[in-house]
Structure 1
Amino acid sequence: MQFFNLYGVPVIVILFIVWMIFRNIDKKYKPPTDSVNRGLKGFEQIGGFAVIFLMVCGFGIQGDGFLSDAMKIFWIVSMVFLLLLHILSCIMFYRSRNHTLHMLTAIFPSVIFILTGLLEQDPPLLLFAIVFAIGKIYMTSKSEI
């Protein structure tokens, strides 16, 4: 039983660094007002913390792992591709302030977490990734650009 998920740690670190860089650069960002659904706001927060925890730590509750080396290689290639698309969409969003690009900045991390839960056969990660995706996409759609 491993304590750290050697595949999830780099993904979380990259996503967290990208998020911190762009949030510190962005002075115009306005978080959603209090008129948003508090339940879905909680979905985003609970799902986000649980996904980070499950992507980094493994206490024996994670799934069976990758079924084959081909699946592992597919996951690595797809993570690199999705992370690059996420970084590109962040750069393009902060230059143009387009709502579609803002939604892409929420969709790419959600797809990353859901794909990881599916390919690593990790039911708790998949469940919380779906919870996070619902909350994150809702909160992003309600935020003011």
Structure 2
Amino acid sequence: MTTWLLNLKNLLEIKISMCSRCEHIPLLGRLPNLRIIDLSYMGSFKCFLDDDTNMLGGTTDTFLCVEELHINYCRSLVSLPSNLPKLKVLYLEECNALVSLPDEIQSFKHLKELTISDCEQLRKRYGKQTGVEWHKISHIPHVKFLDPL
């Protein structure tokens, strides 16, 4: 992605799918009105970037309006953005390299629904009352762990 994306100031939703060689997605966090991000079938996708070289951290003013984040079949994903203050829905499916959620998830006060499907590392770490990190997501009203079909 290049800087032309920054011209899409009114973009509310973006879906990126089947970009098998895409490892990073820069600039999405700088779209001020973006509400929904849907990424799927991106086998090489590893992380979000705030520019072409830096991984997103918790101190940047990014993703301020994102309410839904859906990530499916991104098996190389290793991290999620940590600054999602308006996030309501987080759906993760077959993100096998993702071993943890951002620590800041405890402060996502609008997060009402977390669904984790076929992400064995996350299931072990955050499993209801059995995972060592369960306390970080126990405030979320609807937490679901789905088994693979």
The verdict on a shared fold, with TM-score over 0.5 as the criterion, is no
Q: Which has the larger radius of gyration?
A: 1
Q: Higher relative contact order at CA 8 Å, sep ≥6: structure 1 or structure 2?
A: 1
TM-score, length-scaled by structure 2:
0.22
- TM (norm. structure 1) is 0.22
